[in-house]
Amino acid sequence: MNKPVVATASLAGCFGCHMSLLDIDERLVELIDLVEFNKSPIDDIKKFTKDVDIGLIEGGCCNTENVEVLKEFRKKCKTLISLGECAIMGGLPALRNDITVSECLAEAYLDGPTTVNEHRILPNDEELPIILNKVYPCHEVVKMDYFLPGCPPSADLIWEALVALITGEEKEIPYALIKYD
């Protein structure tokens, strides 16, 4: 029996959604029985080695590397899920959206209250990804199939959604798992 293949990525976010995935605790053993991971911190595979059934993306797109990773996931994944508020709406990183990139760089590298940069040099290396004019939620870059809200989504929500997708059983996710007071 071929197991469904799952891949995960963290873009402009805090890795909290991956921590929620790990917070499914002992159900991780059950999940590993149900799926194969490919290109995920869970198995430490850095590049896709095959096409994937389910891709979980946390974080939005704040630079060109994030966009490239997200587009690669869209090509490789049959189903792509925005995991958490950063992927769905830009989250906390999107707080910079009303500030120009030059102002952000100046605050971070030149004029910040704890910045020490005597030569006033901004990072400028061809290997660094280019910062975008704003943080984009994933669905503004590629088509996303599902959205799991929360900051981060609860472990139970992630578990219920993955099991429903893996088994193909239509499930009604309890409102309590997606409600935030």
- What average pLDDT does the segment 140-169 reach? 94
CB 12 within 8 A of CB 59: yes
Window from 13-17, 41-45, 62-66, 136-140 with minimum mean pLDDT: 41-45
- Which residue in this structure is represented by tokens 């120009």? 100
- Percentages (nearest 5) of helix, strand, coil residues in the chain: 40, 20, 40
More confident site: 179 or 105: 105
Window from 86-100, 128-142, 164-178 with minimum mean pLDDT: 164-178
pLDDT of residue 1: 64
Full-prediction pTM beyond 0.75?
Answer: yes
62: nearest Cα among 110, 96, 88: 96
Query: Is 25's pLDDT higher than 70?
Result: yes
pLDDT of residue 164: 92
pLDDT of residue 181: 62
Per the structure block, which two tokens stand in for 166?
């893996």
More confident site: 147 or 175: 147
- What average pLDDT does the segment 10-33 reach? 93
pLDDT digits 0-9 by tens, 44-55: 888 999 999 999
What are the backbone angles phi and psi of residue 80, rounded to the nearest 5°? -125, 130
Domains of the chain: 5-95+134-178 (3.40.50.700)
